[in-house]
Every structure is written in structure tokens, then in C-alpha cells.
Structure 1
């Protein structure tokens, strides 16, 4: 192989309290990957695996010698794009009901879509968004985004 493929397969969150974070994501109704337990957990989300791994173990592998990150927002957001504008409000309510911290209420954005933000129990930010140009396959995987992909 002479190049890095353009794909995202796994997104791993370093967890300070993996059992609590695992309960939160299960509380959203997300199905765990086989082999998940309180030492590692995974959730298949439309073609990308969201993995939960103990923060200290992840740091030892991916950032040896680096200081442990402070709790709270890391400067990274994860997004769940939705099929319809009104789905943003329903998803926001469902996430908060499951224990997410409301960060930004659903609102229409200047870019033409609608979104809201919540934080999981460890402060990881999730954007719940609708964008007119987002297209999904039957699994919910994003297959197009932007004006060129908007279709009729």
C-alpha cells in the first residue's frame, strides 16, 4: 500500500470512568459490540466504531510521556447528523433524558442547518445536527455532504 486510505474506522474516547461512560451510551439505546465489558467497550455507529478505553491505557499507547489531559472539553466535537430538521430537537431531548449535559439548545444555524450540543458524563461534546446536504446509506453512514452531493 502506497497511501493512507481516506476512511475513519474507529474513534476512541479515553475514559476516566469507563463503566459509567459505558452505561451512558447504552442508555442512549446504542447496541454494544460483542466483547464489550468494563475494560473496553464499543458501539457500531453507522460504519464507525465508537470505542471506550481507559484513559491511562490509551495515553500509554498513543501519547507516551505526555501529561494526562485535564477533565472537560478537549476541543473536539463528535457529531450525529440526523435525517430531518425536527429530529435535532427530539435527539437533544433523548440525550438529556439519558443523562447528557445540555450545552447548547437546538437552534437554526447561519450555515442553513439546525444543531444542538450535549456533553457526555466525561465532557465529550456531541453535536446533534441536521444539514440539508447530508446524505446517508441504509445503515446511517454518511455518504455525501455538501452542495455537490445534495441531489434533487
Structure 2
């Protein structure tokens, strides 16, 4: 067994406006953990915790005090859905909740369908359907392209 388990448990976003970012994710219909507040917030998403933490505090811990980046940080988060038509429905729900449109839903050359949105602080989310993606009853990804 590896000393580092092969798993992803938490993704933390540095928040410039904690109350505003919390409102956005709640507007998506996601439930916060009971210990959430404006100093830290968490949303359990199919076995992975989406964590929000003030960006200055996160930079002090994770970047040795380097300044927090501005604009797009060069990564995306993804929410995979079970059918191509669900991409469009989820995309529209995210926009209604306050997301910014980055790319409208389209069929992709790799055989799936996806769209991109940004949360109020510019974090990019891909909403995607991928052939071969399988989920368990909790929505956890159990297979991808197999």
C-alpha cells in the first residue's frame, strides 16, 4: 500500500468574498456542512468536499504568504452528469444561480458534451457528459471511459 492513498478528498477554493461565494454555491442547491460559516465553508459533493477559505488565509498557509492570484488560475473543476441533455439543464441552472457563461454547451470532438461556467470569483467549472462515466448511488464517479 502506498503511503499516500490514491484519492481526492478536498478541493479548496480561495475566496475573495466568502459570503458571496457561499451564496452562489447554496443557490446551486448544494447543502453546506453544519460547521460552515464566513471563516470556512464546505459542501460535500459525491464523496469530495468543496471547501471555501478566505484567499488571504489560504495564501498564507499554502503559498508561503505569496500574493493570491487574480483572474483565472489555470485549472477547472468538473461536474459530470449522466446524459448529454443534462449538460444543458445543469448549465442553465448554474446561470440562473449567478454563474457567468464561459462556453455554451456543445458536442465535443472527444465524444461527449460539455459547457463551461465561472462562479462569481472566476473559478471555472466544466459541466460535462462523458461516454463511459459511471456513478454510484451517492453520485461518486466509479468509472471513466472504461
TM-score, structure 1 normalization: 0.93
**Which stretches of structure 1, 4 residues or longer, exceed 3 Å deviation after superposition?**
none
Q: Distance in 1 between matches of 2:74 and 2:2?
A: 32
Aligned to 2:144: 145
- How far 1:73 sits from its partner (Å)? 1.1
Q: Distance in 1 between matches of 2:65 and 2:72?
A: 21
Distance 1:60 1:110, change over 3 A: same
* Structure 2 unmatched runs, 5+: none
- How far 1:7 sits from its partner (Å)? 0.3
- How far 1:34 sits from its partner (Å)? 1.3
- How far 1:132 sits from its partner (Å)? 1.2
Q: Report the secondary structure of 1:4's partner residue.
A: coil
Aligned to 1:74: 73
Distance 1:108 1:63, change over 3 A: same
1:83-109 per-residue CA deviation (whole Å, 9 max, x = no partner) reads 010000000000000000000000000
Aligned to 1:23: 23
Distance 1:144 1:57, change over 3 A: same
TM-score, structure 2 normalization: 0.97
Aligned to 1:63: 63
Instruction: Report the count of equivalent residues.
Output: 146
* Structure 1 unmatched runs, 5+: none
Alignment of 1:44-123 (within 5 A): 44-70=44-70, 72-123=71-122
Aligned to 2:132: 133
Distance 1:133 1:35, change over 3 A: same
- How far 1:2 sits from its partner (Å)? 5.1
